[in-house]
Structure 1
Amino acid sequence: MRRGTPRFSNEPALSEVIGFVLIIGIIMVAFSMYLVYGVPVQGRENEINHMSTINDQFVSYKIGIDSLWTNQQENIAMSTTFPLGTAGQTAQGSTSIIPILQPVGSSGTLSINQRTTTPEIFTVLSNSYISNTTGITAVGPIQIPTTQTYSNAPSSLLINLSTTNAFWNNTAPGSVLISGNTWIATINITPDISDCLTSGTGNNVTYMSSCYGSDITITIIKNGVTSLNRAVVYSNINPNTPTPYSVNLMNAAYGLQSVISYPTTLTFSKYDPSNQLITTTITAEYAYQPQTYIYSVPLGSLEYSTNNNYWISQSYYYQMGGVFLSQIDGSTYKLPPEITFAYNGNGNITANIVAISYDPIDSGLIGGNSPAQVLTVLKPDAGSLPYAPVSPNTWNATINLTTPDPNAAFMWAAYLNTAANLTGGIPTAYYTVGNTTTGSYISFLGGTDGNPHITLSGKTANLSVSVQSLGSV
């Protein structure tokens, strides 16, 4: 043995310690990598899936509200559940036994009429024919035959018939012919012996007493096609009736409202070889008058706002029949609101509005991770705006959305422009759209000939809503 040589060595033990420390180091590196990358990725996926669920719930909510107002289901509560956060909503896998390996669950808030500090207001300003403001104004009666020009659409255009000898065996019944540009209407005295028969056949038939056996019928021909053929308006008429029988050509059942453009000239003539029609006249009735009309309502909203930890924070909200998404870089609509436009050619425009609003006295806010239940009721004061049911009925109209949220203002302007030009096909020469310091607007200019070129219709649907927590899941 050499001098100075150790009698034993601990090198093998030292190598085991170093190896163990390296293994611990590798585990810590892997653990740290998972915490830094794996947990956020899992948390981001959970929050993306959760926001997708929120989107689906708002779509379902919109469909439910649409069903309420279209079917007039008043005072019936519709229940919708929204999961407020990801905690407890998603599976965590085998790592759930180690809390530090789980992503932190996000939370959210569901609020009613809390979206902005001041209410968002929807307003329609128009110069229109407005119904039922001063009662009915009648023009006439005017004797037939005649030719009449109507600069404005009447609410009723009555053909008044006083008859004599209107019996089933009359061989030369009379009629009144009304002709427009693309249509013809004929109001006939039509013999109908079946009105008087009671029993028997052949020569043994019996008849009802005091029976005359003639009907008043109407035939409509549009663009050369018969759309209505001898439809009975009055059955078994009495020729001695003291008041005339009146047929309203503006009745929606006859389908003439949509084919008459005003101003229009109509020709009225009479066929009466047996002097069956004593007098025939026309009376135009106007149940509306032109005036400036303003409708304004605070819209309110039902909004879900998330407090995401791993993904961008977002807010979904339902307003005016639409579903909207708002985040830090702007707002957009996921489903469009209930405002639609259409171009009918020759400068004629149609605008349909359903003003769906929340009761401004409703207010609520709930936050956390557990689900929340929203109860929504259609109030019984839903109705229609008083625009006259004639086409067209408006000279000019402006729709305003007042909001303190600049992102919402730009989004509304973009939607109104898209709905008018791309969806509705309205040339930009007939409208202007843009933003103001208080919101956004679209204005329809109408024609330059002094006649109305806009058909405006509006419905209202007012909602009452409440929210409550369902507790932990």
Structure 2
Amino acid sequence: MRDGAAAERNEYGLSEVVGFVLLLGVIIAAMALWMMYAVPAEGREDEISHMNDVRDRFTDYKITLDSLWLNDEKGISVSSSMNLGTGGGNTQASGVFLQLLKPIGSSAVISVKDPGDRMWINTSNSGDYSFILSILEYQSQNNYWIQQRYYYQTGGVFLAQDIGSDSGKTCRVSPPISFIKAKNESDYDLAMVNLVPIQLVGGSSFGGNGPVRVDTWMRPPEIVVDNRPNNWVQVSVNVSDMQSANMWLSVFNETRKRGLIADSDTDWYSSGINTIAPDSYTAYMRITSPPASGSGGVILTIRRVDYYVSLNNIMSGLT
């Protein structure tokens, strides 16, 4: 009797151990599936949402800076903040298991720098000009979503994505450039070219997680050329890669179309890309006097604007 009772107790204890091991296996399998599918999906959604917020912040930044030069608000400093990365994942969870069940927080680098891009404005009667196209750039360091780079350059907002094709760079918000078909007082055709080259002065960079404050103030704008007649005006942007050149050519042509200079108006314009060297490409738009206007049918205005930009660490942990 005693041997039978002992055997029964042993079998009961063994079944408990086997049940615990099976339960532990189910838990581990569930955690593995969660980490394999749910965590990357949640991390991807977090990073997509964050990059959409970055896009909106850059658009707001462009609108704010445009309001300064449009209203001639010289000497006024404006501040905006941008979060570097999602700041989630291991920075928020407590405990080892919770860390494993949450996405790893992404980081980013924000900087003010000169990438080497240049804008040239050549004219028949009003001289030649060149401008440095420095940028305010946000470079993502995503863990689950594609890498994206938003940057503000000469008054426009641009996006570069690591997708390995010519469509990897796009203009999200156009810079203040216009080519417009117009009429003079005698009802003759005119082409109006209005340019606001915007240069950023400064050089700094922060990387990591957390918020960074971007402080900007405008130097008094300078009217370089004011309603001067020309026989032709050519606007060119020199960049280091063909993707950027194609993007700028699209910016020029879309701007021309918005100004009612149609593709069929070949007497009014010419555009294209010149390859200067393997790492130097120039996209250009040349506006010429309309056939019926005679000489001086291109009216040019250039308003130069410079902004001083500084980046400031709001919280520790950024480098």
Fold equivalence (TM over 0.5)? yes
> 1:26 — aligned with what?
26
Corresponding position of 2:262: 427
Q: Specify whether residues 8 and 465 from structure 1 end up closer, same or farther in structure 2 by C-alpha distance, changes over 3 A only.
A: closer
Among residues 182, 197, 202, which one is paired with 1:355 in the alignment?
A: 197
Of residues 97-106 and 316-325 in structure 1, the stretch that sits farther from structure 2 once superposed is 97-106
Q: Could you tell me which amino acid in structure 2 is paired with residue 60 of structure 1? A: D
Q: Percent identity?
A: 34
Q: Give the one of 172, 175, 198 matched to 1:334.
A: 172
Residue 278 (structure 2) aligns with: none
Q: Does 1:444 align with 2:296?
A: no
Amino acid across the alignment from 2:66: D
What is the number of equivalent residue pairs in this alignment? 296
Question: Shift of the alpha carbon at 1:105?
Answer: 0.9
Q: What is the alpha-carbon distance in structure 1 between the residues aligned to residue 122 and residue 230 of structure 2?
A: 11
- CA separation of 1:50 and 1:89: change in aligned 2, threshold 3 A: farther
| Residue of structure 2 in register with 1:202 after alignment | none
Query: For 2:290, what is the secondary structure of its paired residue?
Result: coil
Larger Rg: 1
Partner residue, 1:417 = 253
**Deviations 1:232-281 (Å, cap 9, x if unpaired)?**
xxxxxxxxxxxxxxxxxxxxxxxxxxxxxxxxxxxxxxxxxxxxxxxxxx
Q: Which has the higher helix share?
A: 2
CA-to-aligned-CA distance 1:117-138 (integer Å, 9 cap, x gap): xx211111111xxxxxxxxxxx
Distance in 2 (alpha carbons) for counterparts of 1:337 and 1:300: 13
Structure 1 residue 451: deviation in Å? 1.9
- What is the CA-CA distance between 1:374 and the residue it aligns to? 1.1
Aligned mate of 2:242, from 391, 406, 416? 406
Higher-RCO chain (CA-CA 8 Å, sequence separation at least 6): 1
Distance (Å, rounded) in 1 between the aligned partners of 2:53 and 2:6: 74
Q: Structure 1 residues 459, 54: CA separation in 2 closer, same or farther (over 3 Å shift)? A: same
Spell out the pairing of 1:158-237 with structure 2 (5 A cutoff): none
- Per the normalisation by structure 1, the TM-score is 0.58
**Paired amino acid for 2:32:** S
Large movers: runs of 4+ above 6 Å:
89-97
CA drift of 1:292 comes to 5.0
In structure 2, how many angstroms separate the alpha carbons of the residues matched to 1:96 and 1:125?
A: 63
CA deviation digits over 1:144-178, x for unaligned, max 9?
xxxxxxxxxxxxxxxxxxxxxxxxxxxxxxxxxxx
Match of 1:459 among 295, 303, 307: 303
Conservation of the 8 A alpha-carbon contact between 2:89 and 2:104: no
- Structure 2 gaps of 5+ residues are 276-280
Other-structure match for 2:138: 304
| SS in structure 2 at match of 1:67 | helix
Provide closer, same or farther for how the CA distance between residues 84 and 25 of structure 1 changes in structure 2, counting only shifts above 3 A. Answer: same
Shift of 1:460: 1.0
Q: Does 1:385 align with 2:224?
A: yes
Letter in 2 for 1:383: E
Whole-Å separation in 2 of the counterparts to 1:91 and 1:48: 19
Q: Quick one: which amino acid aligns to residue 316 of structure 1?
A: Y
Corresponding residue for 1:112?
Answer: 112
One-letter identity of the residue aligned with 2:224: L
Residue number in structure 2 paired with 1:293: 127
How many angstroms does 1:90 deviate by? 11
Residue type of the partner of 2:308? S
Give distance in 1, aligned partners of 2:5 and 2:306.
97
1:455 aligned counterpart, secondary structure? strand
Distance in structure 2 (CA, Å) of the matches to 1:8 and 1:19: 18
Instruction: Report the residue type matching 2:199 in the other structure.
Output: S
User: Which position in structure 2 is the counterpart of 1:343?
Assistant: 181
Contact 1:395 1:447 in 2 (8 A): no
Distance 1:340 1:91 in 2: 47
Paired position in structure 2 for 1:86: 86
Cα 1:104/1:6, change in 2 over 3 Å: closer
